[in-house]
Every structure is written in C-alpha cells, then in structure tokens.
Chain A
Amino acid sequence: MNELISIIMSKLNYWVYIALMMIGLYAIIAKKNLVKKIIGMNILQTAVILFFISLGAKKDATIPIIMHGHAAKSHAVQAADYINPLPHVLMLTAIVVAVATLGVALALVIKVFQQYQTLEEDEILAQLKEE
C-alpha cells in the first residue's frame, strides 16, 4: 500500500498533464461547434508543451541564463546548476506554430460561416446533404 502511494505521488503530475491533454482531445471529437473544436485543439497543444517543459526540470537548479555573464570565464560552468534548455527551444517553435495554425483555422471558420450561415457541425452536414 505504501509503495502504491509513493508511485502515485511521484507520477501524479504526469497524470494531471495527461488529463489536460484528454480534455482537449474530448473537445475536438465531441463538440459540435467549430470554434469549440479549435479551442480544444489549442488546449491539447498547450498541454503537450507543458508536458515537455516538465521533462527539463531539475532539482536545485536555476534558469538557463548563465550567471555572472561575461565574467563567467573565471567561473567554471557546471551542467548540474542549470535546468535543461533544450525542451525550451523546441517548445518556443511549437508555440509560434500553434498561433500560426490558429490564425489559419479562424480564417477558415469565417469562410465557412459566410457560406453556410451557421457554425454547428450537424446543421452544416444537413445543408450539404440537401445540395
């Protein structure tokens, strides 16, 4: 029982991030409104980014900007003092790609509304069947 609790406590934060991803995935599949689907897509993207950033955390380490700047040539830089900068770099690209995708998705939503006068998926499908 004790080791079960210790397993749960050490992995609990990963499970919370997975719960957040699943909220986003549920919104993409189950919601009928197009704007709600886009919000779900963005929730999924930011949850994945959160999961990645949590992989780079280190105990008792500071932010990845080298202390003492240009005077650091006299101090040796230890890798264990700074948190891992590599996930941050990859996730910066991911955030910017997310906002670009959001822009194009919202442009598509406006075009769909101009054509069908509604944003609900079942009404759009009904109008498509009549044509």
Chain B
Amino acid sequence: MIWQIELVVLLMVIICGIGAITVKDLLGAAILFGAYSFMMCLLWAIMGAVDVAFTEASVGAGISTVLFVAAVFRTSRRTKD
C-alpha cells in the first residue's frame, strides 16, 4: 500500500464527490458520479480488495451511471440548486 498513490486517489475521490453534488446540470452530476465510483474502485484495488473493486467497477461505473442518465433523460435536466 503505497501511501502516496492512496493520498492522490483519496483527494480525487473527495473532489469528485463534492463536484457531483454541486454542479447545476443533472447530466454532469451523473457523469461525475460515475467518475467518483471509478475512483472508489481504484482505492479498493490499492487496498487489496479485488473482488469488491471488480463489483464496483461493473456496477457503479457501469450500470449506475446508465440508470442515472436514463432517469435524467426522462425528467428534467436543469436544476436550481
């Protein structure tokens, strides 16, 4: 567990997390959430949890993003807050 890599990925995770709830465009929030899921998967792979990282890569960065984009497509895209 090289702590430098882990620190950088943790920083990226926090930036993606704060970005996903702050942007005013819901499609952008969905894509940022996909990036957040993928950074989490990297973090778990660094910690040695390979099964969990595999599941999160396929479920979080794949299916979850597609479902969010489908739901945003059927509702509105702008938000005030």
Q: How large is the interface on B (under 10, 10 to 19, 20 to 34, 35 or more residues)?
A: 35 or more
Check B29–A23 contact: CB distance below 8 A. Answer: no
Number of interchain pairs (Cβ within 8 Å)? 116
Q: Are A35 and B26 in contact (CB under 8 A)?
A: yes
Q: Which residues of B contact A118 (CB under 8 A)?
A: 76
Chain A stretch 56-115: residues in CB contact (< 8 A) with chain B: 56-57, 61-65, 83, 87-88, 91-92, 95-96, 99, 102-103, 106, 109-110, 113
> Residues on A close to B: CB < 8 A?
13, 16, 19-20, 23-24, 26-27, 31-33, 35-36, 39-40, 42-43, 46, 49-50, 53-54, 56-57, 61-65, 83, 87-88, 91-92, 95-96, 99, 102-103, 106, 109-110, 113, 118-120
Given contacts A53-B47, A57-B47, A92-B51, contact A113 B76 (CB under 8 A): yes
User: A95 to chain B: which residues have CB within 8 Å?
Assistant: 52, 55-56, 59-60
Cβ B59 vs Cβ A96 within 8 A: yes
Contact call B40/A46, Cβ cutoff below 8 A: yes
Query: Interface on chain B toward A: helix, strand, loop, or mixed SS?
Result: helix
Q: Which 4 A-B pairs have the closest CB atoms?
A: A106-B71, A113-B75, A27-B21, A33-B79
Give complex CA distance A39, B26 in Å: 10
CB-CB under 8 A for A110 and B21, given A33-B81, A39-B29: no
Give A74 to B33 CA distance when docked, in angstroms. Answer: 47
Q: Is the CB of A35 within 8 A of B71?
A: yes
| Given A53-B44, A95-B60, A120-B79, CB of A33 within 8 Å of CB of B51 | no
Q: How distant is A22 from chain B, measured CB to nearest CB, in Å?
A: 11
Instruction: Tell me the bound Cα distance from A60 to B17 in angstroms.
Output: 31
Residues B48 and A50 in contact, CB atoms below 8 Å apart: no
A-chain residues with CB within 8 Å of residue B14 when the two chains form the complex: 16, 19-20, 23
Q: Which of these, A32, A54, A102, A109, contacts B47 with CB under 8 Å?
A: A54
Q: For residue B24, which residue of chain A has the nearest CB?
A: A33
